[in-house]
Each structure stands twice: as structure tokens, then as C-alpha cells.
Structure 1
Amino acid sequence: MSATDTFRLLHVDDDPAVLDLTSSFLDRELGWEVTTLTETSPEAALSRVADDADADVDCIISDYDMPAMDGLAFFEAVREHGITTPFILYTGKGSEEIASRALNAGVTGYFQKGGPDQQRRLANRVEQVLDDRRTQAVADRYSTVIEALGYPVYVVDADGRFEFVNESFAELTGYDRETIIGSLPSLIKDDAAVERAESELGGILSADGPDSSQFEVDIVPKEGDPIRCRDHMAALPYDGECFEGSVGILRDVSAERRRRRELDYRTRAMDEAPTGITMTDPSRADNPMIYVNDAFVEMTGYDREAALDRNCRFLQGPDTDSEPVETLNEAIEAGEPATVTLRNYRRDGEPFWNRVSIAPLRDDDGEVARWVGFQEDVTEYRRYRRRLERQNERLERFAGVLSHDLRNPLTVAAGELELAKCATEAGHEHLDAVADAHARIEALIDDLLTLARDTDGDMDREALSLPTMVTRCWSDIETRDATLRVETERTVNAESRRFRRLLTNLLGNAVEHGGDDVVVTVGETDGGFYVADDGPGIPESERDRIFEAGYSTDEGGTGFGLEIVREFVDVHGWTVDVTESADGGARFDVRGVDAT
């Protein structure tokens, strides 16, 4: 029943004239629309309310003196059927004894029949009953809604003690309802929370205060950590200055606070990110930007007021290439991510190169709700890349000069030197010195070409047997009386040509500096392999310099052998260190190797 429903009354009296008169009088006096059902027989009335499921009534009015069953017997029969409808005894045969019996039995009201004044008294009592019924119906509906929502509900009386709490409230606090009811709020709140609630209630009760208040408070459960809740508090209705208490609904917002905190962290991360971040709304005309971060403002010179609610094409200018712009438009049309680099313009007109990446953010239905863009100023990077390209071009030309323009005359000089040696019977020591110089120049050219051309480029790795590669490299060098020991069966994942040169340089370095009868050992470690010798070793003070370009302790050396080792190690993503071997010589450890 709602407040707008028609109320239904059942009037039982063996006199039809009384029924008609009372019905007319109630229709006139009551403030609500009512339907009065009448019965002249208590038995028929009982059958009507007890057996007919559709005969629900809001109030029963009954005569006392009726054939077969008096009004009190009818009342008791109604209650025996479990019907709790308000019951008013309205009788012409009144007495103090009947009144006492009726009130003791629990009737809602007792009135004697009479003139208009008695009729009005009856109407007033019926109106009170219907008002209570309406209020109870509304309360029941609100209670059903609240229970369905599962919110904890409490009522605190005028003395500040819990008068009512529901099961959800008990579950939230961990106390049973019997413990909570009659207790002070300090049972579940600390002093600060109690003071906050009292302050909010004081505001509600003030002359110009709000009808209700919402505020956050920590609820301290019987066990566990405090629970952050939002308290929606209001005062119970009261007349005059007679405050009757307060009512409130709690809502656990601890998870909401965590989500809000995480959202705040993410928002701050976007705001403070070093890359320009934008967000657009495709549901609006022209897909305008609805968010830009600080880096975007700094990069473009446009403040938020100038950038928001505009399509980002305002960054384009006269020299913006149409191709990357079209790529972005096609990606947006297809709902797919894309990355392009295009020329944009700052607010002051200065051009810059902008690497733009866009990606769709979809809603639960799979529709694109937002586009997020990442923008990075790559102007300096492009300048650096162009400088590097020009440098590589010059390096390639230099390598060409070494390989062709310098080697050709060196080859001619070596040939002429050989002829001169054949034609000269004495004084070969001077010609031999020239031949040594030619050999050193040849080695230097070879090392420089290796550094210029072989320390960059694609890496086509393959599984290589370390013992096999060591043996091959050993055969490529002048070993004199040196001895090789291979103490590993390891396989490494490496690029064959560069790895072979790396091993050759390490082995050659050991032979060159270790002495004629040096013993060179190649073994494995947990992270790779090592090459060690039993020669004089490398002083600790010199170990940090041996990988520098041009460093050599041999007058005939190029100084690039170990530089090539370091470069090839770097190309593979490995590391190399030099220490003292177990025999006092030099040991080179190569680590980070993908080996089996």
C-alpha cells in the first residue's frame, strides 16, 4: 500500500441503517479516499477477511451486541486467524464492563454509538488508524529498500545510545545487535569520531542547519583495522523542542577510497609524466582534446585553456607532411593504434618534430570511448640521427680510402721493396725495417677497417662450439712454442665472424705478451668463458686502460686489438674484464654469454 492507495474499511453491524449512516459519515469526514465494506453478520465478515486473500482491509469497525456472536467474540476470532488489522468496537450497548473487557482484550478503540459528535470521534479514530497504516506502509517500503541495499542502519535515542541497528550494522562492526543496542557510539568509534558525529548532529538541529549531513568517519570493529565509512545522518522527526534522537545509514567507502587513491596516483602520473599525454572524446564533434598534461603544455607552449576543446590539428603548419596526418586519421577511423613522426609547431611558431602515438580506450561494450595520445619532442634526436648518418657516411668514405686508396700504394710499395731486396746483396736490415713498417701499416689498416665496419649492423647469431672455434682461431695465429689448453665443451650463441675475431685477438694477445712458451687456457664460468695465460700478466694499474683505443705495450702493436675485443663483446651484449690468472698471468673473463 502506498500513500496514494484507497483505504478499505470493514463495518460489521446487524442494523443496515447504522451501516449506511456510518459509511456516509466516514466518506464525508475522512481526509482520504476510502471504500467501506459492510456486513450484517459477524460470521460472514470473518469468512470475508479470513478466507478471501483479496479482502485485505485497513480497519475493522464492529458492533458489540449481534446475534450468534458479540463484538468481542468476533474480535477474538479475527485474532485467532492471525489477522492483526486495527479493530474498533462501536456499540450502542456500552458499559464500563464492556469497555474494560474490550481494552484489556487489545482492541484499537472503543466508542459508544450516538449523535454526530460520536460519529466524529469515530471518524477521528479511524483517521488516526489510517494515518498509522500509511506511515507504517511507507516505513516498511523504505526498510525493504534499505535492507535490499545492505546498508548498515542505526537509530540513536535522545540520550545518545543505540536504540536500533540492523543486521548489516552488526556485521560491519563485528558485535551482535544485543551488545550494540543500549551502548554508546564510543563502542565503535574513537573520541574524535564521536565528537565529529555530535558536531554534525548539532548542525542539523540548529535553526538554519541542513535536514541531513554526510561525512566520513572511521568505524572501529570488534576485530581488525578501522573501516572508513560515509555516515548519512538525520534527526528523527519531532515536534517542538522535544528531540527524540537521530537516524543514520553507513556505507563502507574503504574500497572506494582505495580506488580513488589509485585513480589519483594514475592521474598524477599522467600529469607529471615527462612525455606529453593527451586524451580526446570521439563522441563530441571533431574529437576534441579533453585532457593535456604538463609536459604537453611545456612542449607546445599552449596552456590548457588554449588547448582543451580543440582538435590537435592546431599543432600542424605549412610544412607538416600530409602522409603521417592521413595515417593517424585512418587509424582513428579503424579504431586502431598508430605511431607517426610529423612536423608540428609551437605556439610561438617554432617548428619541432613530434613523435605521436595514439591508442583507443574502449568501454564495456567495446566502443571507443576515448583516444589517448603520447607526444614526444624528437627534434634533437632527429638532428643527432642526421649527424650520425653524416658521420657514418664520412666513416665509410674513410674506410674506402683505407681499403683502396691507401692499400693500393702500400701493396705497390711492398712489391717494390721486395724487388729492391732481391737486387741488393747487402744492407737488408734497412729494407727489413721498411718491410716491418709496411706490415704494421697493413695490420693497422685491417684493425681500423674492423672497427669502422664490423662493430655495427645485424647480428645473425648461431650455436657455436667454443672448443672448435678456439682450435680454429689458434691455427690462424703465430703461436711459436705456446701451448693451448681447452677445458670446456661449452656451446655459445654468437655471430660467427665477430666471435672468431674476438677469440683470435684474445689468443693472439696472450701469445704476444705471454712469452714464447706461454700456456694459454680457455675454460668456462657460470656466466660465460675465460682466456688465461701464465705469462707476466698485466699490472693492476694498467688494467683499466688496456681496452682504450690505441693503447699498447708493444712497439709493433696497433693498439686496437683489445679495443676490437671490447667492441665485439658490446655488440653481443656481453661484458669483459681483465684480472690476474691463477698462474700469475692475465685472465680475460667474458660474461653474460648465452651458453649451454
Structure 2
Amino acid sequence: MTERIDVLHVDDDPSVLDLTEAYLDRELASASVTSVTGPEAGLERLDEESFDCVVSDYDMPGMDGLAFFETLREDDPHVPFVLYTGKGSEEIASRALNAGVTGYFQKGGPEQLQRLANRVDQAVEEHRTRAVADRYSTVIDALGYPVYVVDETGAFTFVNEPFAELTGYDREEILGSTPDLIKGDEAVAEAEDRLGSILSSDGPGIQRFRVDIDPKEGDPIPCRDHMAVLPYEGEEFDGSVGILRDVSEEAARREELETKRRALDEAPVGITITDPSLPDNPMVYVNDEFVEMTGYDREDAVGVNCRFLQGEETDEAAVTELREAIDAEEPASVELLNYRKDGTPFWNRVSVAPIREHDEDRVTGWVGFQEDITAFKEREGALRRQNERLDEFAGIVSHDLRNPLNVARGRVDLAQEETGNDHLAAAADALDRIESIVEHTLTLAREGETVGDPEPVDLATLVDDSWGTVDTDEADLEIDLEGHVLADPDRLRNLFENLIRNSIEHRGADDPVTIRVGDLGDRFYVADDGPGIPEEVRDDLFEPGESGAEGNTGFGLAIVKEIATAHGWEIAATTPETGGARFEIRGVVRPEKEPAE
């Protein structure tokens, strides 16, 4: 051994101490011998410093060598102890070995001193090797990893308890068996190839590779094997050692991450991820849709801030709103005019949200969703221009057409009073019809506007109010409604008025009609027991101008549909088995909490 060996020699004969020290110094170049003349002195030195080996005489005054050994073992049960005595006997040797001393030698000439030196050197090396092994064993046990040793014949000579638990076999079943007990043929072949690579002169000292372990029961367990060879000298290979690590959860997480990555890559919207810990919060990920939408390759985009998409006509107010949300670590969504790599502008709905560290409030990243809404903005602009033209048309109808219509009606009335001509009565009726068409056209244009801020409306009360504004002669009303819906009360009242009026106008001549209004949770209905819906108008029932009643303008149900659509509802007409007509308004929203009365 080249590492220093500290030896404590205890003997009541100074000449023996001197001789032994000189011999050990000569034979063990790394030895440092401390000599004391009695067990008490030896114990005192052991209290003050540590030694790698203790050599002691047996026959000493006050305390013999075995008593000294037993006293020492109470404080240090592991230090090597060699009994070197001039009073040797089989009895003393037997007692010494049974007590657990490391070695027993009788004093003698150079041959015995040589044997003593060799045993000290060997005992210290074994002790140090055992200490290292114990430390590694403690670490391995603390980690809880399955450990195995395979000898040169390919049989298991050691497995720990975690290894047995992993495989489902008892240790006794594993020891002496070969790895094909827990591995398939391909896995065994790969392990042998890996071992050969380690044993080759230019191969790595350790091989790490994936392997599926076939347990005694259940499905294969994905593991990672860390394999190395046992230390050996010359060409006598002694076997291999390995540590297995169950990577089932790791494989599942990797598969989950891969699934999420593919989902991000293939998402139909542009997705970016930025890292605020880096200067200027650059993008560290962009998906395929972002590349296609902007024209910038990943090499162009990753590593820079996404503001490079902005241009001269980008709304600074929207950019500021986005920046302030990021500074406040809050999500935000804005619409920006951005520019592709080729310089063409496109409308981009940008939504960002912070990514927070698990169980902490610290923001570790930002995810951004980018949606090309150019076509939507173009349709929005076209619709806005169409609505503007519709408003202009409504103004023309309301003012420029209604004024001359009123004049014509007034003149006809005067002429009828002066002449009593019956033809003028027909002309007055025609003018009344024209005025009704104008009024319903304006209503249709107005009711098509989207409801922006609905409020809770009591259905039963509103139906009762609507009933009072319609000429309901020869008609009865039954109400089976509860609670409120979110709606524009004025437009909802108009919807009920038109449905009630429709039922009354389409009843048979002089026939009474009963109108029922009820709710079905997320929908309500208006039904009657009249003649039902004529087959010839069923397909175009909600189109303006379609009606099954003589003299009816056919705008009522078209207005009802526009009001429903403006609320985000749907309307459907059915013919109940009991006859009549039934109109269902579907998709209504109830308030989360009913208002107090």
C-alpha cells in the first residue's frame, strides 16, 4: 500500500517495541508506528487520535491483550487488531480468534516479523476496502435503486431487495439464474454487446442503455441500465455490476411531452413561447402555423422579441395595452396589424398568458396565440359598410318615402270625402299596406343589430305585457313560464308581439284560438291550436314577404328570426301532434342567480 498506515503498537517491553517499529518501518514504507508501553497508555492515545491498526502484546501487567481488545471494541468495533504475543498457546489463540481479533502471531525472529508486517498491511487494506464498500452500499441503499452483480459465467451472484421488488422474484429465485429470467432475447443480446464494448480496449468504462425488464407478473417495465465491470487484473474477467432505474414515469412524461409538442406544432393557430429571464423576453419556440402565417423561418424568429412583426400602421395603443399586461403579469388579447416577412400586412389577434412555476407565483415564460383574422376584418369592414348603406336606406325610407306617402294618403282621404268615389277606398287601403311594409322594413333592419348588454327579463311578466299591446279579440292566453332570461326587454317584447299576432292572424275566420307560452329550461315556446303552417310556405317561413294569411305583409316571422339571431338564439317551427303551430326559441341563457323580487 502506498497510502500512509498509522499503527499503534502496545507492549510492556521497550526492546520489542523498538525492534517491531524498525522492522515495520523497513517492510512497510508507508507505515507510521506509535509505540506505548501499556494498555492504559494505548487507550489514552486512541482517545486522542485514530489509527489504522493496533498491534498488542498479550501478557501485560494490569490488563492483558484480550481485555485491552474488548475495551477497545466498545468504542471502535472495526479497527483491525493483531495480537502479537510471546506467551503463545492454543488456548490463547482460540480465545483470541473467538473474540474476533484480526490476527494472532507469536513473537519470533525475522520470519514472524515479516508475517506480522504482511498481516498488518493486508488487514488495513481490507478494512479500508470494507469502509469504502460500506459507504457505497449506504449510498446505494439510500437511493433505493435496484443493484445486481453477474459473475463471469453470466449468473446472478448478488441482487439487493429493490431489485427483487422490481422483478417480483424472491432473491433466492434470482441468485444463480441468468439474466434471461427477467429479459427477452433481444435485451440479453444487447447487454452482452454492451459488456463487450466495456471490455474492449477502447470502449467506455460504463454503458447506459434502455432495457425492458420482464417481471414475474405484469407488463414489461422500461428501465435504464448503468453497467460496469467488476475490477480485475490481467485477463481474468470477474463479472459485471449494474444499477437499474425504473423509467416508467419518465417514459410516460416523455410521451406526454411529445404529444403536447406535436399538438403545439400542428395547432391551427400560431403559438409562441417566450423566456422573460433572457434579455428582451425573446421567443424560444414557434410552431408551424406561426412560420406559415408570418413567413419567418424558425431561425429568423427564435431568439428575438416578437415585436419585429410590427410596422408603420400597427396601432400603438394596442401595443401599449399588450406591454402593460405583460408588465403586470396578466393575460391579454389585442388585435394588431402585423407584417409578414414579404412586407404584406395582415390582421393578427394576439393573446398572451403567463406561464407560472408550479406551486409558485413566479412567471417563468409567456405563451402567445396568434390568429390571422384578416378575412374576418375584411368581412367586418364589408358588413360595417353594408350597415351604413342600410342606415342610409332606412333614412331614405323613413323620411324621403314616408313624407310623400303621407301626402298621397291625405289627398286620397280628401278626395274620398269630396267625391265619395269607391275606387279611392281601395287606393287608401293600398297606401296603408305600403306604410305597413315601410314600418316593418325599418323594424327588420333595427332588430338585426346584435344584443350587446342583455339583462334579466321576467318571461311571464313580459308575455303578459305583450298580450296587452296586440288586438287579441277571439283569443285566449295560457302562460306556463318561470324565472328570467338574459335578453333585451324591448326586442323580446317585440318577438312575443309578433308571434302572438301571427297566431291570431292565421286562425280560421271567426274561429277562436288559444295561445300557450311555456319554457323548457334552455328554450321557450309559443304554440297555438290554429290551422297550423301551410305546406307551401313551410320552407321559407322566416323569409320577409312570406305569409299564409290574406293581406299579411309576411314580415312578422322574419322580424322574430332577426331578434332571436341578435340574441344568439335559434328559432324553429314545428307542428305538434295535437295540431296548430309551435315556435321554439332555443339556446336562451338564464342568469346565474335569479334577481330579487
User: Is residue 312 of structure 2 the alignment partner of residue 318 of structure 1?
Assistant: yes
State the secondary structure of the residue aligned to 2:470: coil
In structure 2, distance between residues paired with 1:495 and 1:539: 31
In structure 1, distance between residues paired with 2:282 and 2:347: 22
Which of 30, 34, 38 is equivalent to 1:37? 34
For residues 138-149 of structure 1, what are the structure 2 equivalents within 5 Å?
A: 138-149=132-143
Which of 521, 526, 530 is equivalent to 2:515? 521
In the other structure, the counterpart of 2:401 is 406
User: Is residue 434 of structure 2 the alignment partner of residue 441 of structure 1?
Assistant: yes
In the other structure, the counterpart of 1:379 is 374
**Partner letter of residue 548 of structure 1?**
E
In the other structure, the counterpart of 1:288 is 282
Deviates more, 1:541-550 or 1:97-106: 97-106
TM-superposed deviation, 1:408: 1.4
Deviates more, 1:117-126 or 1:502-511: 117-126
Residues 1:288 and 1:28: Cα distance change in structure 2 (over 3 Å)? farther
TM-superposed deviation, 1:431: 1.9
Residues 1:397 and 1:311: Cα distance change in structure 2 (over 3 Å)? same
Question: Across the two proteins, how many residue pairs are aligned to each other?
Answer: 586
For residues 410-425 of structure 1, what are the structure 2 equivalents within 5 Å?
A: 410-425=405-420
State the secondary structure of the residue aligned to 2:557: helix
Alignment TM-score, normalising by the size of structure 1: 0.86
**Partner letter of residue 40 of structure 1?**
T
State the secondary structure of the residue aligned to 1:415: helix
Residues 1:321 and 1:592: Cα distance change in structure 2 (over 3 Å)? closer
For residues 3-402 of structure 1, what are the structure 2 equivalents within 5 Å?
A: 7-30=5-28, 32=30, 34-42=31-39, 45=42, 57-63=51-57, 83-91=77-85, 107-111=101-105, 113=107, 119-363=113-357, 366-402=361-397
Alignment deviations for residues 459-483 of structure 1 (CA, whole Å, 9 cap, x no partner): 43333242x4444434433445x33
In the other structure, the counterpart of 1:499 is 492
In the other structure, the counterpart of 2:573 is 578
Deviates more, 1:286-295 or 1:387-396: 286-295
Deviates more, 1:144-153 or 1:66-75: 66-75
Deviates more, 1:123-132 or 1:5-14: 5-14
Alignment deviations for residues 375-425 of structure 1 (CA, whole Å, 9 cap, x no partner): 232333222222221111111111111222211111111111111111123
List alignment gaps of at least 5 residues for structure 2.
none
User: Is residue 457 of structure 2 the alignment partner of residue 463 of structure 1?
Assistant: yes
Which of 548, 553, 566 is equivalent to 1:553? 548
In structure 2, distance between residues paired with 1:398 and 1:436: 25
In structure 2, distance between residues paired with 1:537 and 1:172: 75
**% same residue:** 59
State the secondary structure of the residue aligned to 1:506: helix
Residues 1:36 and 1:295: Cα distance change in structure 2 (over 3 Å)? same
Residues 1:258 and 1:541: Cα distance change in structure 2 (over 3 Å)? farther
**Partner letter of residue 199 of structure 2?**
L
What's the Cα RMSD here? 3.5
Given that 1:533 and 1:583 are in contact with CA atoms closer than 8 Å, whether structure 2 keeps it comes out as no
State the secondary structure of the residue aligned to 2:390: helix
Deviates more, 1:65-74 or 1:327-336: 65-74
TM-superposed deviation, 1:546: 0.9
In structure 2, distance between residues paired with 1:162 and 1:48: 47
List alignment gaps of at least 5 residues for structure 1.
none
**Partner letter of residue 394 of structure 2?**
A
In structure 1, distance between residues paired with 2:133 and 2:577: 92
Deviates more, 1:408-417 or 1:201-210: 201-210
In structure 1, distance between residues paired with 2:381 and 2:177: 79
In structure 2, distance between residues paired with 1:127 and 1:529: 99
TM-superposed deviation, 1:303: 0.8
Residues 1:4 and 1:587: Cα distance change in structure 2 (over 3 Å)? farther
Given that 1:520 and 1:531 are in contact with CA atoms closer than 8 Å, whether structure 2 keeps it comes out as no
Deviates more, 1:214-223 or 1:409-418: 214-223
In structure 1, distance between residues paired with 2:572 and 2:233: 91
Given that 2:482 and 2:519 are in contact with CA atoms closer than 8 Å, whether structure 1 keeps it comes out as no
In structure 1, distance between residues paired with 2:386 and 2:83: 112
Alignment deviations for residues 147-167 of structure 1 (CA, whole Å, 9 cap, x no partner): 222222222333433322333
In structure 1, distance between residues paired with 2:3 and 2:322: 62
Deviates more, 1:92-101 or 1:305-314: 92-101
User: Is residue 586 of structure 2 the alignment partner of residue 591 of structure 1?
Assistant: yes
In structure 1, distance between residues paired with 2:491 and 2:313: 44
TM-superposed deviation, 1:35: 4.4
Deviates more, 1:8-17 or 1:290-299: 8-17
